[in-house]
């Protein structure tokens, strides 16, 4: 007889070689770190900032001066560069001298940008670790729940067939038989949806590690233990990459303010030139100094300084808001993790014990001729449902664990 529930058999989500090495979470994160575009992009940004900082405090390049002066345009000597005594060929250079306060501020601004890009790189790394972990967890628990759903489908099929047999033997009710068949058929939707979730997990992993995402998954880590202690997560917020970027951002805003204030004092430049005239005339030397005259500060330099001061205030307010939001987020994830951890412990302890006792009791009653087969099948189905609920609780635990565990860079093991 053809099985009515064969269409519920597990679909192969990916083609995996039998000898493929299982993919652990740590290995997935290691592979992602080697090729993750956000990390590569931020590394390039850091290199760019370091190179830009190299000459931030240097003076501007000198300027070469070449020219002709007093070339006659009429008369017998027109367009001659040698016969008229006033005509002079001129060569020289000019050097601009920015004030030390400006150069110091520029250097500080450049170093702050380097520090900011370094902090952004750390943030990109922890974000990749977290996203890879969430994708790995999504796939792991989807595949685990899919296996349980298929077990549940088999049990529901048995229960549906048993109810049909009882009805045929005038021992059951039609409503009970129809309900059993409906429940068995309805499981198809749950299986299809879980296959979708598992496929999404693989797709998310492929974003980070390509075809390596098709490998079977290894044993998951212990989601009941965090790498970082709770105090580090809740109190040492300055060490969190999500907040560390605001320290150099504020330093850059301070440097911008100093630059704007330094603009109230003008820069100056030195110009030296040698002028050559005809052979009958002496050569000339010219020396000149040019100075900025910031005499309209109330409408030029002052508004710019006020704007930079406002920018600094804005950055400080944003940093405070980010710190409060981050602290609240940590507290919420900790609450989720602790709650899920307690639920998982209950599933693994008293709830599983009760389900096992129920199954043993109904089975003993059936074997002793005092119970019905439908009660045994229902107890078996309920035990699988309980394992499903346990897997869902563990998935919640794992997601909260990933958010907390990869909020900070991982501790390096000493060799």
Q: What is the CATH number of the domain that holds 31?
A: 1.20.1600.10
pLDDT, tens only, 158-175: 555 555 555 454 454 444
Q: Which two tokens stand for residue 260?
A: 């704007």
Most confident region among 51-55, 174-178, 238-242, 398-402 by mean pLDDT: 398-402
Q: Which two tokens stand for residue 346?
A: 């209950």
Closest to 98 in 3D by CA, of 266, 257, 261, 252: 266
CA 254/CA 106 separation, integer angstroms: 11
Q: What are the two backbone dihedrals, phi and then psi, of residue 285, each rounded to the nearest 5 degrees?
A: -120, 130
Band of residue 277 on the pLDDT scale cut at 50, 70, 90: confident
CA 405 to chain centre: 14
410 in any annotated domain: no
Q: What is the chain's mean pLDDT, rounded?
A: 82
Q: HSE (CB half, 13 Å, CA atoms) of 233?
A: 20
Beta strand extents in 86-197 (DSSP E only): 88-97
Closest to 5 in 3D by CA, of 130, 159, 125: 159
Closest to 94 in 3D by CA, of 267, 268, 266, 269: 269
1 in any annotated domain: no
Most confident region among 31-35, 57-61, 107-111, 210-214 by mean pLDDT: 107-111
CA 172/CA 166 separation, integer angstroms: 5
174 versus 140: which is more confidently predicted?
A: 140
CA 297/CA 302 separation, integer angstroms: 5
415 in any annotated domain: no
Length of the chain: 415
pLDDT, tens only, 211-254: 899 999 999 999 999 998 888 898 888 889 999 999 999 999 99
C-alpha separations of 13 from 6, 141, 173, 197 in Å: 17, 14, 40, 11
| Among 158-167, 180-189, 265-274, the least confident range | 158-167
198 versus 410: which is more confidently predicted?
A: 198
pLDDT of residue 370: 62
pLDDT of residue 79: 77
C-alpha separations of 188 from 149, 181, 252 in Å: 9, 12, 58
Identify whether the C-beta of residue 405 lies closer than 8 Å to the C-beta of residue 225: no
How much is the average pLDDT of 394-405?
95
123 in any annotated domain: yes
Provide the 3-class DSSP secondary structure of residue 81: coil
305 in any annotated domain: yes
pLDDT of residue 376: 55
Q: HSE (CB half, 13 Å, CA atoms) of 352?
A: 12
pTM, entire model: 0.77
Identify whether the C-beta of residue 292 lies closer than 8 Å to the C-beta of residue 115: no
How much is the average pLDDT of 88-113?
93
pLDDT value at 7 more than 50: no
Give me the number of domains the chain comprises.
Answer: 1
Provide the 3-class DSSP secondary structure of residue 66: strand
| Among 112-126, 317-331, 359-373, the least confident range | 359-373
To which residue do tokens 């974003």 refer? 207
* Domain ranges, residue 150: 6-405
pLDDT, tens only, 294-336: 988 888 889 999 999 999 999 999 999 999 999 999 999 999 9
130 in any annotated domain: yes
Task: Please report, to the nearest 10 degrees, the dihedral formed by the alpha carbons of residues 302, 306, 308, 314 taken in order.
Answer: 180
Please state whether beta strands 284-291 and 268-276 pair in parallel, antiparallel, or not at all (unpaired). antiparallel
Q: In terms of DSSP H, where are the helices of 18-99?
A: 25-35, 37-54
């Amino acid at each position: 007889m053809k099985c009515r529930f064969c269409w519920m058999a597990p679909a192969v989500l990916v083609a995996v070689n039998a000898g493929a090495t299982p993919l652990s979470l740590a290995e997935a994160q290691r592979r992602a770190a080697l090729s993750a575009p956000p990390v590569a992009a931020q590394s390039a940004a850091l290199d760019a900032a370091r190179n830009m900082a190299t000459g931030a405090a240097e003076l501007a390049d000198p300027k070469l001066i070449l020219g002709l002066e007093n070339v006659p345009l009429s008369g017998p000597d027109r367009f001659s560069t040698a016969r008229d005594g006033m005509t002079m060929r001129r060569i020289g250079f000019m050097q601009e001298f920015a004030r030390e306060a400006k150069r110091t501020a520029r250097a500080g601004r450049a170093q702050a940008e380097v520090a900011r890009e370094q902090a952004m790189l750390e943030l990109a790394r922890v974000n990749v670790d977290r996203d890879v972990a969430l994708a790995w967890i999504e796939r792991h628990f989807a595949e685990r729940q899919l296996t349980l759903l298929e077990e549940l489908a088999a049990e529901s099929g048995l229960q549906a067939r048993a109810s049909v047999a009882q009805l045929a033997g005038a021992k059951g009710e039609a409503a009970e038989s129809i309900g059993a068949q409906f429940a068995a058929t309805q499981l198809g939707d749950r299986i299809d949806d879980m296959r979708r979730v598992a496929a999404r997990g693989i797709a998310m992993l492929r974003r980070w590690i390509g075809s390596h995402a098709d490998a079977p998954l290894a044993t998951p880590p212990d989601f009941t233990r965090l790498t970082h202690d709770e105090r580090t997560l809740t109190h040492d917020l300055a060490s969190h990459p999500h907040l560390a970027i605001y320290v150099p951002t504020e330093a850059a805003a301070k440097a911008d303010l100093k630059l704007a204030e330094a603009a109230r004092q003008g820069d100056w430049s030195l110009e030296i030139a040698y002028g050559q005239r005809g052979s009958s005339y002496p050569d000339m030397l010219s020396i000149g100094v040019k100075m900025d005259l910031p005499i309209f500060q109330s409408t030029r330099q002052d508004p710019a300084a006020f704007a930079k001061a406002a920018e600094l205030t804005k950055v400080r307010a944003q940093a405070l808001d980010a710190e409060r939001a981050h602290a609240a987020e940590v507290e919420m994830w900790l609450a989720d993790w602790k709650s899920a951890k307690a639920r998982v412990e209950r599933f693994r302890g008293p709830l599983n014990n009760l389900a096992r006792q129920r199954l043993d009791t109904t089975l003993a009653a059936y074997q002793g001729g005092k119970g019905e087969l439908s009660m045994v099948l229902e107890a078996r189905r309920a035990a699988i449902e309980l394992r499903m609920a346990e897997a869902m609780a563990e998935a919640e635990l794992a997601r909260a664990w990933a958010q907390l565990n990869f909020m900070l860079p991982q501790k390096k093991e000493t060799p």
